[in-house]
Amino acid sequence: METPPIACSLSGADLRVRSAEWDGLLSRSLISALAIPAGVRLNVEPGAAAELARLIDLERACCAWMRFDFEDLETVAITAEGEGPEVLRAMFLERHPA
Protein backbone atom coordinates (compact mmCIF):
# COMPACT_ATOMS: atom_id res chain seq x y z
CA MET A 1 0.00 0.00 0.00
CA GLU A 2 1.30 3.42 -0.97
CA THR A 3 1.85 6.10 1.69
CA PRO A 4 -0.54 9.02 1.08
CA PRO A 5 1.18 12.32 0.28
CA ILE A 6 1.49 14.88 3.05
CA ALA A 7 -1.06 17.34 1.73
CA CYS A 8 -4.12 19.26 2.88
CA SER A 9 -7.08 19.99 0.63
CA LEU A 10 -7.98 23.27 2.39
CA SER A 11 -7.51 26.63 0.69
CA GLY A 12 -4.97 29.00 2.21
CA ALA A 13 -7.67 31.02 3.97
CA ASP A 14 -9.41 27.91 5.31
CA LEU A 15 -6.08 26.50 6.49
CA ARG A 16 -5.40 29.69 8.47
CA VAL A 17 -8.85 29.43 10.10
CA ARG A 18 -8.29 25.75 10.96
CA SER A 19 -4.83 26.48 12.35
CA ALA A 20 -6.31 29.23 14.54
CA GLU A 21 -8.95 26.79 15.81
CA TRP A 22 -6.25 24.27 16.79
CA ASP A 23 -4.16 27.04 18.37
CA GLY A 24 -7.15 28.18 20.42
CA LEU A 25 -8.05 24.70 21.62
CA LEU A 26 -4.51 23.75 22.53
CA SER A 27 -3.60 27.05 24.17
CA ARG A 28 -6.70 26.85 26.40
CA SER A 29 -6.98 23.14 27.08
CA LEU A 30 -3.79 21.18 26.38
CA ILE A 31 -2.68 19.01 29.30
CA SER A 32 0.08 17.12 27.50
CA ALA A 33 1.57 16.71 24.05
CA LEU A 34 4.02 13.85 23.63
CA ALA A 35 6.05 12.47 20.76
CA ILE A 36 5.23 8.83 20.02
CA PRO A 37 6.97 6.64 17.43
CA ALA A 38 4.55 7.40 14.58
CA GLY A 39 3.48 10.92 15.55
CA VAL A 40 2.04 12.66 18.61
CA ARG A 41 -0.32 12.03 21.50
CA LEU A 42 -2.47 14.94 22.67
CA ASN A 43 -4.41 15.09 25.92
CA VAL A 44 -6.85 17.93 26.57
CA GLU A 45 -8.97 18.94 29.55
CA PRO A 46 -12.29 17.06 29.86
CA GLY A 47 -14.31 20.15 28.94
CA ALA A 48 -12.52 20.32 25.57
CA ALA A 49 -13.30 16.77 24.40
CA ALA A 50 -16.15 17.83 22.09
CA GLU A 51 -14.02 20.51 20.42
CA LEU A 52 -11.16 18.03 19.98
CA ALA A 53 -13.52 15.53 18.34
CA ARG A 54 -14.97 18.24 16.08
CA LEU A 55 -11.55 19.34 14.85
CA ILE A 56 -10.47 15.77 14.23
CA ASP A 57 -13.62 15.11 12.19
CA LEU A 58 -12.73 18.14 10.07
CA GLU A 59 -9.11 16.99 9.69
CA ARG A 60 -10.18 13.54 8.52
CA ALA A 61 -11.95 15.22 5.60
CA CYS A 62 -8.96 17.25 4.39
CA CYS A 63 -5.79 15.45 5.49
CA ALA A 64 -5.92 11.81 4.40
CA TRP A 65 -2.30 11.26 5.42
CA MET A 66 -3.13 11.58 9.14
CA ARG A 67 -4.60 8.79 11.28
CA PHE A 68 -6.49 9.53 14.48
CA ASP A 69 -6.96 7.01 17.28
CA PHE A 70 -8.82 8.10 20.40
CA GLU A 71 -7.54 6.47 23.58
CA ASP A 72 -10.38 8.10 25.54
CA LEU A 73 -12.54 11.19 25.03
CA GLU A 74 -9.69 13.59 25.85
CA THR A 75 -6.68 11.74 24.44
CA VAL A 76 -5.86 11.12 20.79
CA ALA A 77 -2.87 9.65 18.99
CA ILE A 78 -2.28 11.37 15.65
CA THR A 79 -0.01 9.26 13.48
CA ALA A 80 1.25 9.01 9.92
CA GLU A 81 3.66 7.07 7.75
CA GLY A 82 6.83 8.13 5.96
CA GLU A 83 7.85 11.68 6.86
CA GLY A 84 4.45 12.31 8.45
CA PRO A 85 5.53 11.84 12.08
CA GLU A 86 8.08 14.67 11.74
CA VAL A 87 5.43 16.94 10.23
CA LEU A 88 2.99 16.11 13.03
CA ARG A 89 5.60 16.87 15.68
CA ALA A 90 6.29 20.24 14.05
CA MET A 91 2.56 20.98 13.85
CA PHE A 92 1.68 20.04 17.40
CA LEU A 93 4.76 19.77 19.64
CA GLU A 94 6.90 22.65 18.44
CA ARG A 95 3.96 25.08 18.34
CA HIS A 96 2.32 23.85 21.54
CA PRO A 97 4.83 22.53 24.07
CA ALA A 98 2.96 21.26 27.11
d(CA 87, CA 10): 17
Q: Which pLDDT score, from 0 to 100, does residue 1 have?
A: 64
Taking the CA atoms of 13, 41, 29 and 27 in sequence, report the sign of the dihedral they define. negative
pLDDT score of 94: 86
* Domain boundaries of the chain, sorted by first residue: 30-94
Other CB atoms within a 10 A radius of the CB of residue 9 amount to: 10
Residue 98 pLDDT > 80: no
Q: What angle do CA 31, 52, 68 make, to 5 degrees?
A: 100
Calculated CA dihedral for residues 45, 46, 49, 51, nearest 10 degrees? -60
Q: What is the pLDDT of residue 81?
A: 96
- pLDDT tens-digit series, residues 29-78: 999 999 999 999 999 999 999 999 999 999 999 999 999 999 999 999 99
